[in-house]
Structure 1
């Protein structure tokens, strides 16, 4: 079975195989027993379609660099995910980003010089195979309803990704992103703040200074709602810090009183 071209695999994915009825006609997919693949990931890619739902549970920030992308923070330090319970599963009643729900499937290019994309999966997960109990992927050579739904979900995710890219391009044109910095002081160490950097966020001052007609356009095209969802979500930084602190996963500040940058 030939793997799809993979010069650089996305987060979580360790290998990719194109799904086809010839090789996988009798294969099935079973649910993940736990969220181990997510347990040491503190930041999850997010699309703009998810901002309103995700901002209720996670701080939404943007990655550093020339091409920022939105991410939902599940922890404030590398390797820390505060939303994985002692049973290894994602805690209940929180929004699960589409990037997580899509795994182990993905749309990928089989030929780098073509825009055509095929439904692929990560065979290393152990949840897709010939001797599995669960959802059948094919029925007599045709995709089952499950597989059709997976394909549709992945297509919708790619389309949301294009909308996200357009949103970020507009933010860059407006020049309202700034390097972020969040300082959090713990009551038992008031003189030693934990300072988190390495991400980008909307500059509230620049946002307020935008021309009235620009603000009206942002409100009409939906960008205003997305910007404010991001900004409101930043209030969860302290709550996330408290979750991490309660779990004993806050590292000691360094000599400058700053925690290691995490969201780059």
Structure 2
């Protein structure tokens, strides 16, 4: 269940990008609107990992590695090799047009928060978002009711929550089948004489083991194929070829960066 009404209940959960989430309601936010942002994706530039839902694996695989991280094995898009750098966002806050834009980013500045006391989800907005302001071009409320823009945002967040829950079940299924393994992404630089240099580890993560996948019974493989999971697994595996692209983009970014000023 979702709601846009005010609540006195404590909301739970900390979410990437959202520094000042507030339950959306007409009394507090009735005069707010959204303006066109000069740097629309600057809020993404400081992170290299963005959560993904399972239905995003295929389009995301064309742009960046899709890996599983942490104890919950949460799927994420790896968008840079440094924790504080997103290679797909320019210094001007623009997103690379040819790359897939995760739904986690597209829903911003809206998000659902858990109202544990009332056992419901409450639609919130990040009041710290620079493009949310009083008298904004696109109003959040009209006549004391959610505007068409806000209604669309609520539907998007509802759909995202559905996909998030589907993703949790997908990961649980992979764990039940014992398909995960720990993998490393490595980079071997070249010495000036052209010989291979010392191998550098870029990341350690969880991924589906191709060997374990091949050993599944034919009946189980057919089941994964029929429910669409096999396609998502292969999309994830193909995406792992994207580490080389991230390395190339990192060098390109470094080469185009302005020289540091002399002290």
**Superposition TM-score, scaled by structure 2 size:** 0.88
What SS does the corresponding residue of 2:250 show, helix, strand or coil?
helix
What SS does the corresponding residue of 2:15 show, helix, strand or coil?
coil
Q: Does structure 1 residue 231 correspond to structure 2 residue 237?
A: yes
1:78-89 equivalences under 5 Å are 78-89=83-94
* Shift in Å, 1:88: 2.6
Alpha-carbon separation, structure 2, partners of 1:23 and 1:70? 35
Alpha-carbon separation, structure 2, partners of 1:242 and 1:70? 23
Match for residue 132 of structure 2 among 128, 133, 140: 128
What SS does the corresponding residue of 2:97 show, helix, strand or coil?
coil
What CA deviation, in whole Å up to 9, does each residue of 1:85-111 have, x standing for no partner? 2323112221110000111110112x3
Q: Which one is further off, 87-96 or 9-18? A: 87-96
What CA deviation, in whole Å up to 9, does each residue of 1:209-261 have, x standing for no partner? 11111111000010000000000000111111111122229xxxxxxxxxxxx
- Stretches of structure 1 lacking an aligned partner (at least 5 in a row): 250-264
In the alignment, what sits opposite 2:260?
none
1:1-264 equivalences under 5 Å are 5-6=10-11, 8-34=13-39, 35-65=41-71, 67-109=72-114, 111-132=115-136, 134-188=137-191, 190-248=196-254
Whether contact under 8 Å (2:13, 2:113) holds in the other structure is no
User: What's the RMSD between the two structures over aligned residues?
Assistant: 1.9
Whether contact under 8 Å (2:111, 2:124) holds in the other structure is yes
Distance 1:113 1:7, change over 3 A: closer
Whether contact under 8 Å (2:9, 2:117) holds in the other structure is no
* Shift in Å, 1:3: 8.6
Alpha-carbon separation, structure 2, partners of 1:6 and 1:118? 8
What SS does the corresponding residue of 1:90 show, helix, strand or coil?
coil
**Superposition TM-score, scaled by structure 1 size:** 0.87
Whether contact under 8 Å (1:41, 1:81) holds in the other structure is yes
Alpha-carbon separation, structure 2, partners of 1:8 and 1:146? 25
Alpha-carbon separation, structure 2, partners of 1:6 and 1:44? 22
Q: Which one is further off, 145-154 or 22-31? A: 22-31
- Stretches of structure 2 lacking an aligned partner (at least 5 in a row): 1-5, 256-263
* Shift in Å, 1:36: 1.9
Q: Which runs of structure 1 show a deviation greater than 6 angstroms over 4 or more consecutive aligned residues?
A: 1-4
Whether contact under 8 Å (1:2, 1:17) holds in the other structure is no
